[in-house]
Amino acid sequence: MERVKIYVNGKEYKNIFIQVIWSGAIHGTARKLEVEYLGDIITEIGDEIEFSYDDEKLFIGKVFFHSKKGDTDVKTFYAYDNSIYLNKNNFVKNFFRKKPSEILKEICGELNLKVGKIPQDEVTCTYPAIDRSGYEIILNAYTIQHRKNKKIYSIVSNDKAIDIVEQGTHADVLLTSADNISTSSYEESIENMINQIVIYKVENEKQQILNKVENAEDKKKFGLFQQVMQFEKDVDNITNAKDMLKSVEKSAKLQCLGNVLIQAGYNIGIQEPHSGLVGDFLVKSDTHVFEGETYFCNIELAFENVMDKAEFENKEKVKKSDKTKKGKKAKKEKNKKVSKLDQLFPEGWDKK
């Protein structure tokens, strides 16, 4: 493993590794480095780890676990990058008309994390965050922006800084069955299909069906797969019901020759006609394995570029009446029932 180098608190090590696994995934998983080795690397919990391949720095993180087997000289440790702190810390917050970048900087500031590359703000956000992780809080802000511009965002750590990146950026990678794909599989299933949601309400001990949301095409083709959802005040029940619908689940996995450009959140080109995988695909998860002189990747592909959305409770904010209004107009405004969504979200934001 001459090409693999690991630095512990700045000290370089090489040629002592049995196996090194570098992995990550979309949907909030911090990138992880797992190392199995022989030799005298001395690691303590919390040590800073850097990993490079062909002198390209790929990972910076901290040791979260280490061990040594008593009957062998084999030792192991694993480390996570800085995004792990967003998952390991919960907060009590209440944001009012804050931009996504302001929410990001507030959370990262409390965790002493640097903020790196971020997209331009397009919305303001108002929501409570009670006992929510830093990851969920930041994700919710960018979910609101996603609903406006339909761009799909991921939260990642690069060079110790927290970046907000747009999913689907193309990596300069083409995998083919002739050149670099060793195994592949493709599956489809309707095992978890939901093609209709019934929204109901219980009032005075009586049930009342308020609405139905459906995927008519799937119902016609595969039959009815129905779930029910109880109506909730102050939330968009129709949108929540649509989010519960599940169509045909598709999954694909590949094993290929190693390429450090293959990382979760990026699109890669694939030409594998035997399994029908031809085109551009989003990498859902990647596992890079280094063993001796061997380097290969296990990849899972995503077929729907869906954002990992965070759901928060919406709490009513009292809207004060304009005291300058007089007469019937003032009385009308005072008694007017204001939509909870209008109270919660800034003007111009897409509540859908």
How do residues 8-61 score in pLDDT, each as one tens digit? 999 999 999 999 999 999 887 799 999 999 887 778 899 999 999 999 999 999
pLDDT for res 59: 96
Using CA atoms, how far apart are residues 121 and 234, in angstroms rounded to an integer?
26
Q: How confident is the model at residue 296 (pLDDT cuts 50, 70, 90)?
A: very high
Does the pLDDT of residue 257 top 90, yes or no? yes
Mean pLDDT in residue range 199-219: 92
Q: What is the pLDDT of residues 76-121, one digit of tens each?
A: 999 999 999 999 999 999 999 999 999 999 999 999 999 999 999 9
